[in-house]
Amino acid sequence: MATLAELARSHTELDDRRVVHLQDLVSSWGLLADLSFADLLLFGRGGNAAEDQLVVVGHVRPTTGITLYRADLMGQVFDGRRRPLVTEAFSTGVTVRGSVNVGADHDVRVTAVPVRQDGEVLAVLARERIRPDDRSTSEQERTYVGLFDRFAAMIEQGEFPYRDEERLRHRTPRVGDGLLLVDADGRIEFASPNAVSSLNRLGMTRGVTGARFEDTGLGSSILREAFDRRTAVIDEMERSDEVAVVSHCFPLLDRGVATGAIVLVRDVTELRRRDRQLVSKDATIREIHHRVKNNLQTISSLLRLQSRRLQGEEARSALGESVRRISAISVVHETLAQSTEDDVSFGEIVGPLVRVVEESVSSPLRPVTFIVEGDAGMVPGQVATTLAVVLTELLQNAVDHAFPEAPLLPDRSETPGDGEDSNPGLVRIELERRSDGLSLRVVDDGVGLPEGFDLDEATGLGLTIVRTFVEGELGGGISLSPAERGSGTVAEVRLPASRLTGPWGDSREPTG
């Protein structure tokens, strides 16, 4: 479905500044629909070639009444003669009220309000409701409808939506939150039942209607600020007993003069309690990752101590490889301990992993340079842990087999006379996030694969671990092949997109 901006661009001649004004209106007009007990339609007018055409660029239904339209009318185009009251409001620039017969038993009561900005009519807001039976309405309904009429007058005068309005962060306010009607002197003229309940939780036990707003416990500053700034103001009050209430104050204006205000009051005590629980759980999870990292580092230290007491080179080498694998897992837990998310940026893990391998293979007789290219985006923590071990094994394998003990490999001479016989070996880590998954490539410029090499018949512990993790735990694939140019080997790991989704089923690609 097209957005308001897209419909305005394709059917009207409104520029971006005027479209923003309509978007500001739509961002808070759920409140107006609730006050009017009716559907609200926002009509734009065609350009010079189609001035008799009206397009619905917005449609909102009330939560306080029954909707008139079961289908969404966004994007519907009407001949102006089918909506005569809307057309008249466009032409005259004043609010038009009347009824339209839509069938033998149905008359629709329409209020067409011109939406004005800087003296220009941009659109028409139509309130449409089936004419109710003759019956006495409640005080609450009369108050709400009267408030809608006051807002309609502000829209016609270009005073609503407000300029520089502060936006509520968690959701758009609705009348059902609880409503207080305050006059220009700060005295409460009307309070809805939900508003009374919220004030009772704040400790106000006496009658609300007739009381001064400053006695409610919500604070008088929000009302003064709304009157002074002529715009909506938001405040949150939280008592020591953890009762929390959000107040959203809308000043009622008449040609620049504040004649009163409505204050929507929402009890958010339970919401804030859940927020605190989530923060506490996040902190607990981060602390667990931190302790796991510390425990892994302790294990690594114990293994290093043990290796120093061993005489056999093979046993010392095995313990060294175990330390390296444990360090790779520790890197992931350290990253998770610093994050509030269950997912981590794998690109941030690659750097520390490279340093782990560099420390284990650093030798003047076998100099190796590592380069990281690309980005893998965000991956779930468990996938990052397994993939970190896989990458560590591939890097160690590249160093051990691509650059054997002969430190100076052929065809790596610098320009004659520079005093060096060879460049260090080069290992590139290439990361690529695609719509179908993730590709991780380790490319070296070493001696290449031995003749007749077959990955399926490889028996080395490192490649066995890689294949088990990639194919078994990650559901991916791995291949080893000669480099396309010159000597060297390409080890590529491919993971499907289905394994890169987080706990909520979202797959996030790099944002850079």
Q: What is the DSSP string of 103-162?
A: SSS-EEEEEEEEEEETTEEEEEEEEEEEPPPS-PPPHHHHHHHHHHHHHHHHHHHT--SP
Task: Count the neighbouring beta carbons within 10 Å of the beta carbon of residue 382.
Answer: 13
For 211, the 3-state DSSP assignment is: coil
Cβ 38 vs Cβ 129: under 8 Å: yes
- Read off the amino acid at residue 86: V
Place of tokens 């380069």: 371
- Between these two residues, 336 and 100, which has the higher pLDDT value? 100
Residue 407: which residues within 8 A CB-CB, separation 6 or more?
Answer: 364, 365, 366, 367, 422
Place of tokens 């001064």: 212
User: Can you list the positions of beta strands (E) in 362-502?
Assistant: 368-375, 378-380, 425-434, 437-444, 477-482, 489-496
User: Can you list the positions of beta strands (E) in 223-309?
Assistant: 233-238, 244-254, 257-267
| CB-based burial, 339-350: b 16+ in 10 Å, e otherwise | beeebbbbbebb
Q: Which fold has domain 4-157?
A: Beta-Lactamase (3.30.450)
Asked if residue 361 has pLDDT above 70, the reply is: no
Asked if residue 279 has pLDDT above 60, the reply is: yes
Please give the pLDDT value at position 413. 41
User: pLDDT (tens digit, 9 = 90+) per residue, 371-415?
Assistant: 889 888 888 888 888 888 888 888 888 887 777 654 443 444 444
Closest C-alpha among 114, 81, 125 to residue 100:
81
Asked if residue 305 has pLDDT above 90, the reply is: no
Please give the pLDDT value at position 414. 42
pLDDT band (50, 70, 90) for residue 168: low
For 92, the 3-state DSSP assignment is: helix
Please give the pLDDT value at position 253. 96
Provide mean pLDDT across the span 94-102.
Answer: 87
Please give the pLDDT value at position 420. 44
User: In the chain, what are the domain boundaries?
Assistant: 4-157, 175-267, 362-512
User: pLDDT (tens digit, 9 = 90+) per residue, 198-224?
Assistant: 888 888 878 899 999 998 888 779 999
Q: Which fold has domain 175-267?
A: Beta-Lactamase (3.30.450)
Place of tokens 């080498």: 317
Least confident segment among 38-47, 121-130, 198-207, 416-425: 416-425
- Between these two residues, 382 and 227, which has the higher pLDDT value? 227
Percent of the chain with pLDDT over 70: 86
CA distances from 214 to 175, 192, 193, 199, 267 (A): 21, 18, 19, 12, 18
Closest C-alpha among 397, 367, 383 to residue 462:
397
For 363, the 3-state DSSP assignment is: coil
End-to-end CA distance of the chain: 28
Please give the pLDDT value at position 400. 79
Provide mean pLDDT across the span 343-357.
Answer: 83
pLDDT band (50, 70, 90) for residue 502: low
pLDDT band (50, 70, 90) for residue 49: low
Least confident segment among 106-110, 214-218, 284-288, 290-294: 284-288
Please give the pLDDT value at position 287. 77
Asked if residue 417 has pLDDT above 50, the reply is: no
Cβ 340 vs Cβ 282: under 8 Å: yes
Please give the pLDDT value at position 512. 46
User: pLDDT (tens digit, 9 = 90+) per residue, 433-491?
Assistant: 888 889 999 998 888 887 778 787 777 777 888 888 888 888 899 988 888 776 788 89
- Between these two residues, 50 and 305, which has the higher pLDDT value? 305
Cβ 26 vs Cβ 58: under 8 Å: yes
Provide mean pLDDT across the span 179-204.
Answer: 91
Is 35 exposed, middle or buried (CB count within 10 Å of its CB: 0-12, 13-18, 19+)?
buried
112: left (phi over 0), alpha (psi -120 to 50) or beta: beta
- Read off the amino acid at residue 251: P
User: pLDDT (tens digit, 9 = 90+) per residue, 239-262?
Assistant: 766 788 889 999 999 999 999 999
Dig out the tokens for 32 from the structure.
Answer: 């107006």
- Give the DSSP H or E segment for 357: helix 346-361
Please give the pLDDT value at position 172. 67
Find out whether the peptide bond into 496 is cis, omega within 30 degrees of 0: no
User: Which of 113-117, 282-286, 433-437: highest mean pLDDT?
Assistant: 113-117
Alpha-carbon distance of 456 to 298, in angstroms, equals: 36
Domains 4-157 and 175-267 share a fold: yes
CA distances from 305 to 99, 130, 321, 362, 424 (A): 90, 84, 14, 20, 31
Give φ, ψ of 459 to 5 degrees: -115, 0
Asked if residue 171 has pLDDT above 90, the reply is: no
Please give the pLDDT value at position 329. 77
Alpha-carbon distance of 412 to 420, in angstroms, equals: 10
For 317, the 3-state DSSP assignment is: helix
Alpha-carbon distance of 242 to 30, in angstroms, equals: 29
- Between these two residues, 470 and 135, which has the higher pLDDT value? 470
pLDDT band (50, 70, 90) for residue 510: low
Provide mean pLDDT across the span 125-151.
Answer: 84
Percent of the chain with pLDDT over 90: 35
Place of tokens 């520079």: 418
Bridging pattern class, strands 368-375 and 425-434: parallel
Cβ 28 vs Cβ 172: under 8 Å: yes
Q: What pTM value is reported for the model?
A: 0.60
Candidates 3.40.50.2020, 3.90.1170.30, 3.40.30.10, 3.30.565.10; CATH matching 362-512:
3.30.565.10
Alpha-carbon distance of 250 to 263, in angstroms, equals: 6
Angle at 166 between CA 90 and CA 43, to 5 degrees: 20
Please give the pLDDT value at position 288. 77
Query: Residue 262: beta bridge partners?
Result: 181, 250
Alpha-carbon distance of 315 to 109, in angstroms, equals: 89
As a 3-state breakdown, the chain gives helix, strand, coil percent values, each rounded to 5, of: 40, 25, 35
